[in-house]
Amino acid sequence: MIAAQRIEIQRVEQSRVGEFDFSNIPFGKHYTDHMFMADFRDGAWKNLRIVPYGKITISPASPTLHYAHSIFEGLKAYRSESGEALVFRPLANLNRLNRSAERMCLATVPEDLYMESMRELIALDREWIPRQPGASLYIRPFLFSADEYIGIRPSIDFTYMVILSPVGMYYSDPVRVKIETHYTRAAAGGTGYAKTGGNYAASIYPALLAQKEGYHQLLWTDGRAHEYIEESGTMNVMFVIDDTLVTPELTDSILPGITRDSVLTLARHWGWKVEERKVSVKEVVEALASGKMQEAFGVGTAATIAHIEAIGYEGKDYTLPPIAERTFANKLYEELEGIKRGTRPDPFNWMVRM
Ligand SMILES: *Cc1c(COP(=O)(O)O)cnc(C)c1O
């Protein structure tokens, strides 16, 4: 449907890539030369364009500003040893983007628009893909209401955009997390499974309180009775108990992570014992207390794997075994990073050349 439409390209006069310091890249602060934009008007995607990265204008009566009528995605491009741009599972992100769109009454994005815009943008800004080991190019597609209407209703007009940000080696120290038993990230029947703005705005305050107590992140529990573990910060969470990889089963209050899915796929491929099921706070605390909890880690695009060093519950901290003994998480990390950088075989065809 959009295949016939050309993407208009307005290039920058002078790339900023030469001035960029690739040796010291902070997360999320620098963006490449160009960005992609498309408008949904009269029921169709129009005006596909790549323009110099910069500010956009938005109506002060935009439902995006007032009601967080917006969704986003996050994925990464890597530079292979031969210099190609490889993107990890982009269609899985499209799938999730469109499920988020449906939940939030936003227009869905057709596959050709999504893939072609990403391809063209990355081709134009390919010099921004870091060459440093561990670094990559973060891709942030997002979609928001372009209406000028302050009432609550499904929006009619939308804007879809893609911006790119070089990111350094996400060196994550092992994290200390706290099991949250008061605040809720997402309720049953709510929007937890959608990557939509408001979920994240609502999570900042409880996370800040935990930080004041010396934790990096929260281990979110269900909103009904805070009885079951859901996620950790903006990552899915996994445990190794009795040599079994255990993770909460997906519900409508858990974001279905693509890293989560990739980890489960690899673990099953290797013949590991894997359980996707309800994981109670009680079970986790008992496994911690008895020493049966061998590993705990978060999984997500930013860090791939973030080891959990300690878990706090009701004022008591439980420390997990040293990182060097985390054979499950360490093997998963090595394998996933190897697949993403093209140094290991890609048996599931996850990498897409751009
Ligand atoms: C994005 C996100 C994740 C991780 O998803 P990935 O696709 O693996 O990056 C997990 N939880 C939340 C709440 C998220 O927003």
Q: Which tens digit of pLDDT belongs to each residue from 13-64?
A: 999 999 999 998 988 899 999 999 999 999 999 999 999 999 999 999 999 9
- Evaluate whether 297 touches 305 at the Cβ level (below 8 Å): yes
Q: Which amino acid is at 306?
A: A
Closest-lying ligand 1 atom to the alpha carbon of residue 236? 10
Cα 97 to middle of ligand 1, angstroms: 12
Ligand 1: residue of 220, 234, 238 to mutate (most ligand atoms within 8 A of CB) is 234
CATH homologous superfamily of 175-340 equals D-amino Acid Aminotransferase, subunit A, domain 2 (3.20.10.10)
Alpha helices in the chain (DSSP H): 63-67, 90-103, 111-124, 197-212, 258-269, 281-290, 327-340
Atom of ligand 1 nearest to the CA of 302: 9
Q: How much is the pLDDT for 184?
A: 97
Distance from the alpha carbon of residue 148 to the mean position of ligand 1, in angstroms: 30
Please, where in the chain does CATH 3.30.470.10 lie? 2-167
CATH number of 2-167: 3.30.470.10
Which ligand 1 atom sits closest to the C-alpha of 262?
8
| Nearest atom (ligand 1) to Cα of 93 | 7
Cβ-Cβ contacts under 8 Å for 73 (sequence gap 6 or more): 93, 94, 96, 97, 139, 140, 141, 142, 195
| C-beta atoms surrounding 74 within 10 Å | 17
Mutate which of 199, 253, 255, 262 for ligand 1? The one with the most ligand atoms within 8 Å of its CB, which is 255
Query: What residues line ligand 1, using a CB cutoff of 6 Å?
Result: 74, 195, 231, 234-236, 255, 257-260, 300-301
On whether the CB atoms of residues 166 and 70 are closer than 8 A, the answer is: no
Q: Which residues contact 349 (CB under 8 A, 6 or more apart)?
A: none
Place of tokens 């949904």: 40
Q: Whose CA is nearest to atom 5 of ligand 1?
A: 257
Cα(98)–Cα(116) distance, integer angstroms: 16
**Where does the chain hold its CATH 3.20.10.10 domain(s)?**
175-340
User: What is each CA distance from 65 to 166, 224, 252, in whole angstroms?
Assistant: 27, 29, 25
This prediction has a pTM of: 0.97
Output the CA torsion sign for 145, 150, 156, 157: negative
In angstroms, the CA 314 to CA 310 distance is: 13
Q: Could you tell me which residues are beta bridge partners of residue 313?
A: 316
| Below-70 pLDDT ranges, the chain | 1-4, 171
Distance in Å, CA 299 to ligand 1 centroid: 8
How far, in Å, from the CA of 93 to the mean position of ligand 1?
A: 10
Q: Quick one: pLDDT at residue 178?
A: 98
- Ligand 1 centre to CA of 257 (Å) is 5
Task: Tokens for 241, please give them.
Answer: 């108990």
Length of the chain, in residues: 354
